Amino acid sequence: MSDKITVGISIGDINGIGPEVIIKTLSDSKIYDYCIPVVYGQSEAVSFYLKTLEVPEFNFNVINDPAQAVQRRANMINCWEENVKVDPGTVNETGGKYAFLSLERAVNDLIENKIDALVTAPINKHNIQNENFQFAGHTEYIQSKANAPDSLMFLIGEDLKVGVVTGHVPVTQIAGKITKESILSKLNLMNQSLKTDFWIQKPKIAVLGLNPHAGDNGLIGAEEQEIIIPAIEAANEHGIFAFGPYPADGFFGNNAYLKFDAVLAMYHDQGLIPFKHIAFYNGVNFTAGLPVVRTSPDHGTGYDIAGKNLASESSFREAIFAAINIVKRRRENKELTAKPLKISKLSNDRD
């Protein structure tokens, strides 16, 4: 049909800002110069938001399969038949139920190569839980569906790219999950992604410490000396240009991140708080290390502004363009794709 990228879009929680940012993004005709969008949702539910937004000439072309998608149109696959009450700003079972139906159908089509990439609108990690979704978020679910041994939550922006060793885990469990093997695995995924997905030939990666002042030579915790530094040294031996560990506060405070192609943080908030401060309106969440391409905006469901025509589509639009660019780079640069390093023999010991 075309060499344009077919981008699947899961609708997220219908009571959040997902439908709004999707409509605002797709109402700009320029997007159709670059991709064929296929939204997984339901036309009746989305029509609620069409009435509240100033896009009178915009509508969806309803199809049953991505192969039926029409160019220069916003295509919609109805993932459920029943009429659903949309209640913007409300956290309820309805939002979670239909967010999952959308996500499940979209991910299945992604795995089966019916779409080239998937952009996910925000979900609520609590109300989406069910017998088929018992995960901390999109990242873990899609990794499981893709049968991938590991993945990297990779936040990408114009001036900053940040990955995390531990993602959606309680703070009390973070230190126990920081191992030499886990750090090296994430560094490997990040290094390969920077080469294959972003065309950076010799990436330079900064690694943050876990403790305040990066442990201050062992005075404030031993993880840097016993785990993080040995992991960095092992990465260097494998040809990965990793440096650190750096104290997170000073590293971002003096703009040291501008000297590197990417940053590996030890835990979620250590990496995402500075990232969202620096790149909130153009930041994108990319799940690196998978055989499929998935991106999302770097914001949540935004219940407080849902249905009020206040949500910015900027991050969602960037997520679509990031997915398009990554798919194209992978297609054009397959020779750079390398097998993951064999790191299974590395010790998990914290000694």
User: What domain count does the chain have?
Assistant: 2
Domain contains 338: yes
**Residues pairing with 161 in the sheet:** 156
Cα distance between residue 277 and residue 270, in whole Å: 12
d(CA 140, CA 109): 17
Q: State residue 337's pLDDT score.
A: 46
Both 139 and 230 in one domain: the answer is no
Respond yes or no on whether the N-terminal peptide bond of residue 274 is cis (omega within 30° of 0): no
Strand partners, 35: 5
Q: How far apart are the C-alpha atoms of 184 and 238, rounded to whole Å?
A: 10
Bridging pattern class, strands 74-78 and 60-63: parallel
Looking at the fold, whether 175 and 135 belong to one and the same domain comes out as no
Beta partners for 242?
205
Average pLDDT over residues 106-135: 96
Burial 280-312 (b: 16+ CB within 10 A, else e): eebbbbbbbbbebbbbbbbbebbbebbbeeebb
- Res 341 pLDDT > 70: no
Residue 305 lies in a domain: no
Q: Which residue carries 């040995």 as its tokens?
A: 230
Q: Which phi and psi angles does 142 have, rounded to 5°? A: -70, -35
- Do 137 and 5 share a domain, yes or no? yes
pLDDT exceeds 70 at position 81: yes
| Domain end among 101, 125, 148 | 148
- Range 17-38 average pLDDT: 96
Residues 254 and 329 in one domain: yes
Q: Distance between CA 167 and CA 163 in Å, rounded?
A: 9
- Least-confidence region, from 85-94, 139-148, 334-343: 334-343
Domain contains 297:
no
Name, of 48-52, 115-119, 338-342, the range with top average pLDDT.
Answer: 115-119
**What pLDDT is attached to residue 334?**
67
- For 304-316, write each residue's pLDDT tens digit: 999 999 999 999 9
Question: What residues make up the domain containing 189?
Answer: 150-289+313-351
Whether 18 and 132 map to the same domain: the answer is yes
What is the model's pLDDT at position 335?
Answer: 46
Q: What is the mean pLDDT of residues 214-239?
A: 92
Assessment of whether the complete model's pTM goes beyond 0.75: yes
Of 136, 110, 160, the C-alpha closest to 290 is 110
Res. 168 pLDDT band, cuts 50 70 90: confident
- Of the candidates 60, 144, 69, the one whose C-alpha atom is nearest the C-alpha of residue 103 is 144
Once rounded to an integer, what is the mean pLDDT over residues 198-208? 96
Q: What is the pLDDT of residues 151-166, one digit of tens each?
A: 999 999 989 999 999 9
Q: H helices within the chain, ranges in order?
A: 18-26, 43-50, 93-111, 138-145, 171-177, 180-196, 223, 229-237, 248-253, 268-279, 314-332
| Percentage above 70 pLDDT, the chain | 94
Under the banding of pLDDT at 50, 70 and 90, the label for residue 212 is very high
In degrees, rounded to 5, the angle at the alpha carbon of residue 16 between the alpha carbons of residues 12 and 19 is 60
Question: Do 202 and 62 lie in a common domain?
Answer: no
Spell out the residues 6+ positions from residue 140 whose beta carbon is closer than 8 angstroms to its own: 167, 168
